[in-house]
A and B are shown apart, each in its own frame.
Chain A
Amino acid sequence: MKNWLLILSTLIGLATLQLSWPAPLKIFNANPDFLLIFSVSLVFYFNFKIALVSGILAGLLKDAFLPSALAINTASFAVWSYFTFRLSSQISTENDYVRLVIILIIALLNNAVAGIQILSSGSFIPVGIFLRNLIIPSVYTMALSPLVFKLTKKISG
């Protein structure tokens, strides 16, 4: 119960931070995806069921503030949690650098899914802007992930 309360309050805190990320800290209008980092980091520090449910909640929270009617993040966050769980049973994810690489790959995949979804809806995005939105937010997310890892570690006790 205590774990759930901590996870929920952290989710609300991180969502608030992501929604009101200050404009001077945005790099090329990109902000880091704290909810994605948190949902992946939960797999490293909590059991899979908690991580999965929290991942779905994080995705739902992100979708609640997006204009799209499709709850794409709710689905994708659950998938990333599952893949991270499977991957962590195959390779060692204790090393910080390995975790950073996992976050980078997942952020790239998540951004690619979001971008492809927009393109498939018939909207036009120039190649440069597509690549910018794919790479910069992913790298920014990876760069700030150690802070969220520390937070997750702290709440896991």
Chain B
Amino acid sequence: MFKLSRKTIINFVFIACAVVLISIFSPFLKNSAQKTFNPHLSLISLLKRECAGIIFYHRNMVELARLKNEAENLRRNLFDLREVGQENIRLKNLLGFKQKSPLRLIPARVIARSPDSWSSSVIIDKGRYNGVRPGMVAINNLGLVGRVMESSENNSKILLINDPSQGISSIVQRSRQEGLVSGSLGANLIMRYLPPEAQISPGDIIITSELSQVYPKGLLVGKVINIGKELSGLSRYAVVKPAVELSTIEEVFVIVP
């Protein structure tokens, strides 16, 4: 059906060379493409947010009432906790503990998402100009979001924790059992390399481990919802529900080390 003449083969080789050359120069082209798209992606993101506000007006109104109520309760709790906190600081000072420095954060807005289903990434509106560099970690108020893969002048690409190429050294908060959390492109994460006698059960909280070279220790990753046995039978795995709703994330904070 496809009979290839000599001319076709030459053309094909020529095209293949062109594609290879483009691939080599793609980092430069990527930056230009992202720069071109930045203004209108920001504008569309703003319009989407406003439209969602109008469409979901009633839901937002109910949610607002609920959140106001919750804020009142939390304010009361905060007042009590402030007292406990003050006491804690005094006691730590007495014991000579080094105070943990607070994280320096760069707030950013998500302006675009991955154009295909085989990777899980978002593009944010802050880049090198704002101090965002590749390798920095992104979080939000609920927990770990991902890590910066690339940063151009005014935007950066964040690889989310549910991308299959991610591997996060983590521990079970309760039992300090270590494992490797990786993404599977689905809604949940998988914690692997758990020994058969590992102390882990549904409901356990998973946080980043101090063994991780990339992520700071103690960031909330998610909660265990199920435990299973690997096919080999040598180890177990846990299905972890991420603390952050990754498919609808709108704002992130990039941690400055």
The residues of A with any CB-CB pair to B shorter than 8 Å are: 12, 15-16, 18-23, 26, 29-31, 33, 35, 52, 56, 60-71, 74-75, 78, 82, 86, 90, 111, 114-115, 117-118, 121, 123-126, 129, 133, 136-137
User: In the assembly, what is the distance between CA of A118 and CA of B185, in Å?
Assistant: 11
Q: Are B112 and A31 in contact (CB under 8 A)?
A: no
Q: Is the CB of B33 within 8 A of A64?
A: yes
What CA separation (Å) do A111 and B115 show in the bound complex?
A: 12
Taking each of B19, B165, B190, which has the highest tally of chain A beta carbons within 10 Å of its own beta carbon? B19
Q: Is B186's beta carbon under 8 Å from chain A?
A: yes
- B157: Cβ under 8 A from any A Cβ: yes
CA distance A60 to B19 in the complex (A): 9
Tell me which of A29, A60, A74, A75 contacts B117 (CB under 8 A). A29
Main secondary structure of the interface of A (DSSP, over half): helix
State the Cβ distance, A61 to closest chain B Cβ, in Å. Answer: 6
**A125-B164 in contact given A16-B37, A33-B115, A67-B157 (Cβ < 8 Å):** yes
What's the least CB distance linking B51 to chain A, in Å? 9
Q: How distant is A152 from chain B, measured CB to nearest CB, in Å? A: 19
The answer to whether A12 touches B115 (Cβ under 8 A) is: no
Is residue B140 within 8 Å, beta carbon to beta carbon, of the partner chain? no
Restricting to B159-195, which residues have a CB under 8 Å from any CB of A?
159, 163-165, 182, 184-187, 190
Q: Which residues of A contact B23 (CB under 8 A)?
A: 70-71, 74-75
Task: Give every chain B residue within 8 A of A121 (Cβ-Cβ).
Answer: 165
